[in-house]
Structure 1
């Protein structure tokens, strides 16, 4: 479900905007998304608030396919120090979602939901600092 090269573990990040930019960088480098897609993810949070924080410690920034998603993929940025989204929401796991069309968007969200709804996976994800372990969680390998 996720390529190894799309997983990053970092220390402190200045703010949520930088977290989105860094989290999306592997997708940008592989021409899966455009710079505009990254800016739209940030603009969505500015306009609508931290709606992308879907659970404690987890945010899923995304934008519309027409904003510059050329292919469908996810990337993950795991932070050792949490970053604030809004006044109250703190996140250590950013899952950048790029979908080339609405059908792929729903399909990928279902896969993300399946992984995160498993308490063991969720707890491993928010507590690990290992790229290999994150990869295994998303690709169902132990």
Structure 2
């Protein structure tokens, strides 16, 4: 499955978050703005991390927040939030986090394919740093498109 669309309203750069919960909520709000999820989806992403620990911190500085498909997911979507100051999720190796991706997938069978496609973007270790320093929505979209094409 390809990476879900990344519209401009699903990208927030240089956001302020004091905790990982705040950071995940910002990413959830970006999914809401793009029409991919309801506000309840952010609660689900937070609950998953509270239940299962900081497994969403998939690389140094990068978290991929997500929850199971359900009524809070309106359409497949991706959101990206970069943080002005990194936050700790409690991961032993990959904290602190500067970038929070939020993934909403409507159909259960598509979830793993979408995660795998996103992982391919970050096979290029420079992609995380490039996203963290991006200053425009166009830059973020170009980084993600280049990674998906690779």
TM-score (normalised: structure 1) = 0.88
Instruction: Verify the 8 A CA contact 1:60 1:94 in the aligned structure 2.
Output: yes
CA distance in 2, matches of 1:5, 1:29: 6
Instruction: Verify the 8 A CA contact 1:2 1:139 in the aligned structure 2.
Output: no
Deviating 4+ runs (over 6 angstroms): none
Q: Offset of 1:11 from its aligned partner? A: 4.1
Instruction: Verify the 8 A CA contact 1:115 1:122 in the aligned structure 2.
Output: no
The equivalent of 2:14 in structure 1 is 10
CA distance in 1, matches of 2:109, 2:91: 33
CA distance in 1, matches of 2:91, 2:68: 26
- Quickly say closer, same or farther: Cα 1:121–1:40, change in 2 above 3 A: same
Instruction: Verify the 8 A CA contact 1:52 1:60 in the aligned structure 2.
Output: yes
Aligned length in residues: 141
CA distance in 2, matches of 1:70, 1:31: 7
The equivalent of 2:139 in structure 1 is 133
The equivalent of 1:124 in structure 2 is 130
CA distance in 1, matches of 2:100, 2:19: 12
CA distance in 2, matches of 1:124, 1:29: 24
The equivalent of 1:53 in structure 2 is 57
Mark the runs of 5 or more structure 1 residues left unpaired by the alignment.
none
Q: RMSD of aligned C-alpha atoms?
A: 1.9
- The superposition leaves residues 47-93 of structure 1 with CA deviations (integer Å, 9 ceiling, x where unpaired) of 11111100100001111101521210100000121011127521000
